[in-house]
Structure 1
Amino acid sequence: MPKSLRPWRTVTATPRPDPARIARLERELGIGDGEPSLDGRRCLMAGWGDALDSSDITADEYGRISLTGKAGIHALGAISSGPGGYRIQVDMGFRTIGPNLAVHSGLYFGHTSADAYRFGIAGTMGGYHLVVRQSGRMRLFQHLPGAPAGRALGSGDVHTPAPKAGEPMTFEIDVTPETVEVRRLGDPGWTTGPIPDDMHRGGHFGLSNGSVDNPAGRPFWDYLVVTEL
């Protein structure tokens, strides 16, 4: 079995098989009895790979991962995309909701090296980060070297339904040579639309707890699949 597809290791409770989860992952990856649902796109990355070896990563009984480190960030590696760009698809949710619905978590991407983006702290390189708030609002930001705050992209917050505790949301991030776009799947209107911006095209990306500092409310992620566009 390829390293990126090996089972999670740091489970703290007896795993309970989830047939729907297994069937969905098989369909996305075109393995087992599943049929590929990637429209012929080449799969660039699947699963969590070496992330499961990190002491900053923990997995629950369903195989969903969370970040336990104080920094609340974790670099996932580099994407080598084709000429048309790439798509990151991932599930994310919050273990608890509230009382501050403005707190957020998400992903960062577009970096030229493995140096991670840390919310609210000036970094050494530029890139993008997706902010998903517990209210359901989402927004794409650009961050620049030496700037602790990001610059909002697009025409405004995208209002989507508030998630429930423990309930995953599925996001797609499309990076083409000329644009970036983020969608929450479930409704055609839950999208930033293609945003003209070609400043950052590095392949390094990762996860961020963002402004969630309550261990009980940490976000979780699942079903990471990266494909070419």
Structure 2
Amino acid sequence: MPFGLIVGVNSHFHSVIFAGVLLREEKVENFEWVFREFVKLMNSKKPVTVLTDQCRAMEVAIGNVLSAMKHRWCKWHVLRKAEERLGALYGKNNQFKVDFHRIVNQMLTKDEFEAAWMQMLSMHALEKNPYVYQIYETRDKWAKPFFSGIFCARMTSTQRSESANHMLKTYVPPGSAMHVFVKQFNKLLYDRNAEESFQEKRTHLVIPHILSMCPHTAPGLQVFD
């Protein structure tokens, strides 16, 4: 059974596991149930932004249940999918890869993105490539300029979720029975909550230091109570 983790970021910029779910099938109705139950767990407070892979069933479910939320695709998955679909082009022409990654990572405005994209199409004769056309049509899901003004906690990929999955595997031995899986998953949650509590206490104990370079004071660290 597929197991999914819903992961976010706390005020210390550490990963937080909000929920875990086992599904029999990755269908639209299953994902709709997941998102409805998650909102209940969060006391009806819906997330502002969600990053996922390019799963079509999940995308439809998010649109049906969390239509007001900003849904973006994981940048790493977009690049991996592009490499799979354009593998020959990646291998034969390294300049295309350079140009494509520059557009994905460095374009800051929509005008810059559009101009660079059209230039790439012309340079590499991709005007009629069906996959390139497809990802361009969904650019609002993955292109950096379309993230402007959207709170993402500095995340552009599902790397935190992947890291949490890897961490879970260190707690749960392969082939574990269900009761062992649940027990070890709860242990992971306990350890993560303990770490967050430690960081919260540490924050309250440390006095903030503010750097001041005012002309009437000696340069250095100035402490404000």
- Structures share fold, TM-score greater than 0.5: no
TM-score, length basis structure 1: 0.23
* The structure with more radius of gyration: 2
Higher RCO (CA-CA < 8 Å; seq separation 6+): 1
